[in-house]
Amino acid sequence: MSRISSLFKKLKQDHRQALIPYVTAGDPHPGQTLDIMHTLAATGADIIELGVPFSDPMADGPVIQQACERALAYGTSLSMVLDMVAGFRQQNDDTPVVLMGYLNPIEAMGIDTFIRRAREAGVDGVLVVDLPPEEADSVAPRLAENGIDAIFLIAPTTTDTRIESATQFGTGYIYYVSLKGVTGSDKLDLDDVGSHVQRIRDHSDLPIAVGFGIKDSQTAGAVARLADGVIVGSSLVNLIATHGDNPEQLTESVKELMQSMRQAMDN
């Protein structure tokens, strides 16, 4: 059983939901990513989604686009991101790490090389934004053979047929995109989220984590009542952009956000 599956099994037994923060690797500087990951793990993160910076992040709003630009300005590459995960594993062998990004850097490295290096580094899951489940039949089984979960996005507009495909090839958890649009969008309709989460449950036994539009502890707590996991991205990346030149202030701000969300979810 993978780290991700074991985690969700334990959380279900404890009647708790997963808190899943997203940060862009290499932002604000490659030398700070490990410290940020360890801070997240120490302050309530159940899974860490580590974004692989890409020059054309089509699903991301301005906040994460700018994070990618900052990371790329320092030369952050997929190879460096894998090294970061390996470095994280030297001190933390428990917290699952999911790489989130786009297909181009993986194809540039070579899919077989990427999967091998991801396994060796200690990556637990891979979410490729522009790889739909219908086209993943040659990738997802190879990930599974190497103990890596293939995670897919499901949006409000996703058809039942595509949900079935995501269930067929996906493992670990399903990432439900709660809004039409990009990361960092403002309005979250909780009734709509609840109905779509239930629709996914009708097709899949995989845990469902909700992302996009979760900005504060109040929203995190509300979404936790509907799903198995809560994903926070832009709010966290915003803190990194604001306090990136002051590591101590950055650490305190990240701790405060994570602890407030964890408390709201547990309550």
Where in the chain are the domains?
Answer: 3-266
Quick one: which of 142, 127, 124 has its CA closest to 2?
Answer: 124
Active site residues: 49, 60
- The two tokens of residue 186 are 């403002």
Closest CA to 188 of 154, 229, 218: 218
265: Cβ–Cβ under 8 A, 6 or more apart, which residues? Answer: 16, 17, 19, 220, 221, 224, 230
Cα separation of 63 and 244, whole Å? 14
Question: What is the C-alpha separation between 261 and 267, in angstroms, rounded?
Answer: 10
At residue 120, what are phi and psi to the nearest 5 degrees? -65, -35
Q: Which CATH superfamily is domain 3-266 in?
A: Aldolase class I (3.20.20.70)
The answer to whether the CB of 165 falls within 8 A of the CB of 200 is no
Q: Structure tokens of 59? A: 């699903």
In single-letter form, the type of residue at position 204 comes to: S
> Going by C-beta distance under 8 Å and a sequence separation of 6 or more, which residues neighbour residue 45?
19, 20, 21, 95, 258
Q: Tens-digit pLDDT profile for the chain (267 aa)?
A: 789 999 999 999 999 999 999 999 999 999 999 999 999 999 999 999 999 999 887 777 788 899 999 999 999 999 999 999 999 999 999 999 999 999 999 999 999 999 999 999 999 999 999 998 888 888 999 999 999 999 999 999 899 988 988 888 899 999 999 876 444 445 678 899 999 999 999 999 999 999 988 989 999 999 999 999 999 998 999 999 999 899 999 999 999 999 999 999 998
**Residue 12 φ/ψ, nearest 5 degrees:** -65, -40
Q: Which of 145, 100, 80, 88 is nearest to 119 (CA)?
A: 145
- Helix residue ranges per DSSP H, the chain: 3-13, 33-42, 62-73, 78-89, 103-109, 111-121, 140-145, 160-169, 190-201, 217-224, 234-243, 247-266
Joined together, the tokens standing for residue 232 give 């926070």
**Phi, psi values for residue 22, rounded to 5°:** -115, 135
